[in-house]
Amino acid sequence: MSGNAEPNKVTNTGQLVPETILKRRHDLDELNAKHAANAIKNPRRSRKIFSKKPIKVTRPDKIIIRARSQKNHTKRFNRVLKKGMQKRASEKLLKKTKVIQAMSKDEKDREVTYSSNSVGAPLLFAIRVRGKNGTPRQVNRTLVHLHLKEPNMGIFLKNTKSTFTMLQLVDPYVIYGVPSKQTVMDLMKRRGHVVVEGERVPLSDNTVIEKALGEEFGIICVEDLVEEITSPSSTFNKVAKILSPFNLASIRTKFQKNTLDDQDGKEYGDIGEEMDTYIRKML
């Protein structure tokens, strides 16, 4: 044994402890003291934080697809902003027919004529059908201006030239059309909310409507509110501003989106009076 080496120690039982074990203990004590000092200096870094959420890995091909989509939508936005809608839009009211199947054997199938676009309608209802992934900045700003911040959000809009132009700019991200009076009533009763003193309050009672709209606009019940919305007047924008955007249910389930890869956004644009059918799927 060299002169510098620490001699073996004697334990309480009278047995000698090997020098290698003593060195190992000394090294462990130094390491523990170092960790304790680091924990005092920087307590957050010394802790190991295990996230409960699973790690999400995005494949490179999805990133490329998203980037291409964003580039194409930016080009489309700039083109529509300069030249307007060219193919999908029409300045004339278009009529189509559809066959409604009979519910029983005694009845016959019947044909119904409906408007396939919203030209000339006083009221529009718009729903956002796409999320934020791959959305260009200009499109996102327009959607926020229309109060459509999240997918499946719906809003009533007065059909003016400026409103229709904005909807055409974000056409692939929204679906819009003309709701009937009965559909407006169902929306108000089942999904309607107003903003009172910064809080979102459901339209569960006429007293809520009277408190929010009675004093200024003379609207004291749901029927008055529906009448004001379906027949837009000079106070429409003020009334619509007090109404909170409608949070509607998604048409596609989580299983359809994740497993079957059936994504939202396949149906979009102006669908005219077919909007009634679309809204009822989301109520």
- From first to last of its 283 residues, the chain has per-residue pLDDT tens of 444 445 555 555 657 778 888 888 889 999 999 888 877 777 665 555 555 667 778 888 888 988 998 999 999 999 998 888 766 666 788 888 887 777 777 778 778 888 888 888 999 999 999 888 888 999 999 999 999 999 999 999 999 999 999 999 999 999 999 999 999 999 999 999 988 888 888 888 888 888 888 888 888 888 989 999 998 888 888 888 889 999 998 887 766 666 555 555 568 889 988 999 899 988 8
Place of tokens 């080009």: 75
pLDDT at 127: 95
pLDDT at 98: 80
Strands (DSSP E) contained in 198-272 are 199-202, 246-247, 269-272
pLDDT at 48: 55
Phi then psi dihedrals of residue 176, to 5 deg: -145, 160
pLDDT at 5: 46
pLDDT at 275: 92
pLDDT at 55: 75
**Among candidate residues 265, 262, 245, 266, the one with its CA nearest the CA of residue 254:** 262
DSSP 40: H
pLDDT at 263: 59
Contact of 175 with 118, CB cutoff 8 Å: no
As a whole number of angstroms, the distance between CA 220 and CA 216 comes to: 11
**Among candidate residues 177, 183, 205, the one with its CA nearest the CA of residue 193:** 205
Check: pTM over 0.85? Answer yes or no: no
The alpha carbon of 216 is separated from its chain's Cα centroid by a whole number of angstroms, namely: 32
Contact of 254 with 219, CB cutoff 8 Å: no
Radius of gyration of the chain (CA): 32
